Chain A
């Protein structure tokens, strides 16, 4: 990619190179990629004038000449290099991707029920897995810039397939690492999760950075939850403090399915998460929770959209922000209740804790309701630590700093206590009780 090019043209040109080289996969993928890049060519990157990007200015991303990350570097890494990100104690299956490339040598496949597949997309392409074509790139629309780029550069990624009535007991860990290449690089991790009828699984998607490279992770995750399936999803963001992270999760839910997702954001200088769920049938239970710890000059922007397309569905959202120093938190939670979606019960809560004078939060809960027999509520609160509570703890001999931690921990525990993967919860506990104030 020539650096003198404007960012938009740069990506379009990089795509031409990519198409000649690394673009592998089935033939039906080619027109999708072409459509995605031409869409990106039309619209380019969003600006602050786009309502969806009003409070998180993507100009820095648009102006940085990111090059497509080379995947070779990851193959030389050893288990000890990734130990601190691997959650060994979690057990089960772990897929490792470094700079967007699959690393089989670091991957561990645990016990899986018959028919279940956890592996790379390229393997699944080669095996002509029947669940790929009907689902991949069918839900995450590429009408906006970042999903369009991800779809255009789609060649590999994670693929999880849980067959009908199968139960995967141990969590499946999808680990995406980025390394410092000495120049700005971009990777486009792609994940497809298909849980068939009556199946059950727990998925942990985690993103982390090794070193302090200028990287952009532009991830897209598509989740298909079949009838009566139950999927527990966690996303952990521990990107390096100089990394930008933009991710879209698109969830498609069938009748009586249950899906819950917890998005935990600890790293990244510029983080934008879009979590979208389409409740396409009746009696669905959808939960989207989130927790963000923001310090330094970091920005975390959580956008959610829950589309109640059919009657008798429930959705719950709880998003918490802890903002310190010059950090900025942004929340936008959309709930759509379509004309036919009677008996919808949607609840959304957004709470922010501001710990410093320069911390900032922009929140915009948004309800769009077209049906009358529904229960929809949203609440947003913004506040600080209660000095009286702090005094109470101090008067009982707890040092000031510890008292502060304890109160922050209490604020976050609403979300943390809902996490059902012990290894994940333990790490969060440790961070909340010690690391945050010292960072």
Chain B
């Protein structure tokens, strides 16, 4: 136990490496939430009438809802009237190129390691950088436009592609879906929009860097991704947030529409501020992510969740069309007083639909890690197939691992398998490594990375490296 205990203590002492606040003038609207605020947000973004109506519909519905109590997490009650619902960095003028971007903003991105110029020149990744709520700059637009791919901020899409937004907004996550999604529908600020035309394979990995900045600003991102028939896109989402004392609410909605024969790969690395080691501060991450896969389409969710004080997130797949495929690969790490209640839903509607769930939960310190998943095979889903595996690893004796897998089967031709296991890093494993000259710290790192290998394998190259680094950072300094 000695090594494991000291590992724990080291982990507990681990500081959040991305904590800094950028001093930029933010434009905020009055605190609180009311119909006027919803109208104000809409008018600030000069939105069309139908979108305002949609927001108001959501807001009125939200008033009838109560906050869900079922998640296996505890936190002080959120006062929704004590939040700011909109914050945009004050734009100095309309920007045409990177050179015109606020140098302070650019410096922030530099600190985060995603210098736009660098990214553009070296990696070939188009980055739609979201700084707080408004997209600051979009790169590689020209290149993508040649193929007919639309990749822009959500508000831009509302103005430039209203027909697409109107057709698909709320088609996967309706405004009335759940408490947080409904709140998001009412007050969403901005986000990303992507459309892949018929038969087009997006030549590069699309990526957005989200970042929460202004204190007390709830971040309500809205992402809509549409892959038309036969299209392919791999989308990367990554997050870091500065150190804050007060909890920040984040209630994003991501909708994926995979039309006939298309493929969407959605990868997330989430490393928001988790709060200090006593659980003070940290982000509340209440996210609704869902994709709809039509005939022969495929949706893959891959996530590495290491941040946030509370994570409440179930990237799901509605396998609507025949032969649709849904995949979910997840690594969730909870440390200190972090709590994660995460998993997926696989709804099999079409015939011969297949789904795979691989979930790895790691708990350390006083962290509580919950896997909650649903596999539903509807009566019409002949020949549906699901394989689920959820493994937990406990580092220390004060953390917890929980699994709540729901399996509902209404079709006898379905084959559903579910496996779960719980383990710890054995003294003998560490001893074995040390014997061969590998330090205890490297050994722990290696074992945890090995534990998560099945998920990392699914990540795009850049993310796989970042994810391994993230876990490495969390386990740093664990020499006994």
- Interface residue from B4, B413, B422 paired with A376 (Cβ < 8 Å): B422
A103 at the interface (CB under 8 A from B): no
Q: Is the CB of A377 within 8 A of B421?
A: yes
B407 at the interface (CB under 8 A from A): yes
Q: Is the CB of A355 within 8 A of B395?
A: no
Q: How many residues of chain B are within 8 Å of chain A by beta carbon?
A: 35
A binding-site residues for B, Cβ under 8 Å: 51, 55, 339, 342, 352, 354-384
Residues of A within 8 A of B422 (CB): 367, 369, 374-377
Q: Is the CB of B421 within 8 A of A370?
A: no
Q: Is the CB of B4 within 8 A of A363?
A: no
Q: Is the CB of B416 within 8 A of A365?
A: no
Residues of A within 8 A of B406 (CB): 362-364
Q: Is the CB of A372 within 8 A of B402?
A: no
- Interface residue from A339, A352, A370, A377 paired with B409 (Cβ < 8 Å): A352
CA distance A382 to B392 in the complex (A): 23
Which positions 387-413 of chain B face chain A at CB distance < 8 Å? 392, 394-413
B161 at the interface (CB under 8 A from A): no
Residues of B within 8 A of A342 (CB): 397
- Interface residue from A51, A365, A370 paired with B405 (Cβ < 8 Å): A365
B424 at the interface (CB under 8 A from A): yes
CA distance A57 to B70 in the complex (A): 19
Residues of A within 8 A of B64 (CB): none
B379 at the interface (CB under 8 A from A): yes
- Minimal beta-carbon separation of A130 from chain B (angstroms): 40
B binding-site residues for A, Cβ under 8 Å: 4, 70, 379, 392, 394-424
- Interface residue from B401, B407, B408, B418 paired with A369 (Cβ < 8 Å): B401
- Minimal beta-carbon separation of B71 from chain A (angstroms): 12
- Interface residue from B4, B70, B415 paired with A51 (Cβ < 8 Å): B70
Q: Is the CB of B397 within 8 A of A365?
A: no
- Interface residue from A352, A354, A362, A377 paired with B419 (Cβ < 8 Å): A377
Q: Is the CB of A380 within 8 A of B416?
A: yes
Interface of B, secondary structure class, is strand
Residues of A within 8 A of B417 (CB): 379-382
- Interface residue from A371, A376, A380, A382 paired with B397 (Cβ < 8 Å): A371
Residues of B within 8 A of A368 (CB): 400-402
Q: Is the CB of A356 within 8 A of B412?
A: yes
Residues of A within 8 A of B414 (CB): 354, 382-384
Residues of B within 8 A of A374 (CB): 394, 422, 424
Given the known A-B contacts A51-B70, A366-B403, A382-B409, are A372 and B397 also in contact in the complex, defined by CB atoms under 8 Å? yes
CA distance A377 to B391 in the complex (A): 9
CB-defined A-B contacts under 8 Å, sample of 9? A55-B408, A354-B414, A356-B412, A367-B422, A369-B400, A369-B422, A370-B399, A373-B424, A379-B419
| Nearest B residue to A330, CB-CB | B408
Given the known A-B contacts A369-B394, A371-B397, are A376 and B421 also in contact in the complex, defined by CB atoms under 8 Å? yes
Q: A359-B412, A369-B401 are in contact. List 5 more A-B contacts (CB 8 A).
A: A339-B398, A363-B406, A365-B418, A369-B394, A382-B416
Given the known A-B contacts A369-B402, A372-B395, are A354 and B411 also in contact in the complex, defined by CB atoms under 8 Å? yes
A-B pairs, 10 with minimum CB distance: A354-B412, A372-B394, A380-B418, A382-B416, A376-B422, A372-B424, A363-B407, A369-B401, A370-B400, A384-B412
Q: Is the CB of B407 within 8 A of A362?
A: yes
Q: Is the CB of A369 within 8 A of B420?
A: no
Q: Is the CB of A381 within 8 A of B418?
A: yes
| Nearest A residue to B424, CB-CB | A372
CA distance A382 to B407 in the complex (A): 9
CA distance A366 to B418 in the complex (A): 12
Query: How many A-B contacts at CB < 8 Å in the complex?
Result: 113
CA distance A363 to B400 in the complex (A): 22
- Minimal beta-carbon separation of B142 from chain A (angstroms): 51
Q: Is the CB of A367 within 8 A of B402?
A: yes
- Interface residue from B4, B70, B416 paired with A381 (Cβ < 8 Å): B416
CA distance A51 to B406 in the complex (A): 12
Residues of B within 8 A of A355 (CB): 412
CA distance A412 to B423 in the complex (A): 30
Given the known A-B contacts A339-B398, A357-B412, A382-B416, are A372 and B392 also in contact in the complex, defined by CB atoms under 8 Å? no
- Minimal beta-carbon separation of B46 from chain A (angstroms): 43
Q: Is the CB of B402 within 8 A of A383?
A: no
Residues of A within 8 A of B411 (CB): 354, 357
- Interface residue from B407, B410, B423 paired with A380 (Cβ < 8 Å): B407
Q: Is the CB of B396 within 8 A of A361?
A: no
CA distance A371 to B408 in the complex (A): 30
Q: Is the CB of A384 within 8 A of B413?
A: yes
Residues of B within 8 A of A376 (CB): 420-422
Q: Is the CB of B396 within 8 A of A372?
A: yes
- Minimal beta-carbon separation of A405 from chain B (angstroms): 17
Q: Is the CB of B409 within 8 A of A360?
A: yes
CA distance A367 to B369 in the complex (A): 11
- Interface residue from A356, A379, A381 paired with B420 (Cβ < 8 Å): A379
CA distance A313 to B403 in the complex (A): 20
CA distance A370 to B399 in the complex (A): 6
| Nearest B residue to A376, CB-CB | B422
Given the known A-B contacts A339-B398, A375-B423, are A357 and B418 also in contact in the complex, defined by CB atoms under 8 Å? no
CA distance A383 to B424 in the complex (A): 32
Residue of B4, B397, B407 with highest tally of chain A CB at under 10 A: B407
Residues of B within 8 A of A352 (CB): 409
Q: Is the CB of B420 within 8 A of A377?
A: yes
Residues of B within 8 A of A360 (CB): 408-410
Q: Is the CB of B405 within 8 A of A364?
A: yes
| Nearest B residue to A362, CB-CB | B408
CA distance A355 to B395 in the complex (A): 43
CA distance A360 to B403 in the complex (A): 22
Residues of A within 8 A of B70 (CB): 51
Q: Is the CB of B420 within 8 A of A367?
A: yes
| Nearest B residue to A354, CB-CB | B412
- Minimal beta-carbon separation of A149 from chain B (angstroms): 26
Q: Is the CB of B397 within 8 A of A369?
A: no
- Minimal beta-carbon separation of A72 from chain B (angstroms): 45
CA distance A370 to B72 in the complex (A): 14
Q: Is the CB of B418 within 8 A of A367?
A: no
| Nearest A residue to B417, CB-CB | A381
| Nearest B residue to A384, CB-CB | B412
CA distance A359 to B423 in the complex (A): 35
Q: Is the CB of B397 within 8 A of A373?
A: yes
| Nearest A residue to B415, CB-CB | A383
- Minimal beta-carbon separation of A277 from chain B (angstroms): 19
Residue of A339, A361, A369, A372 with highest tally of chain B CB at under 10 A: A372
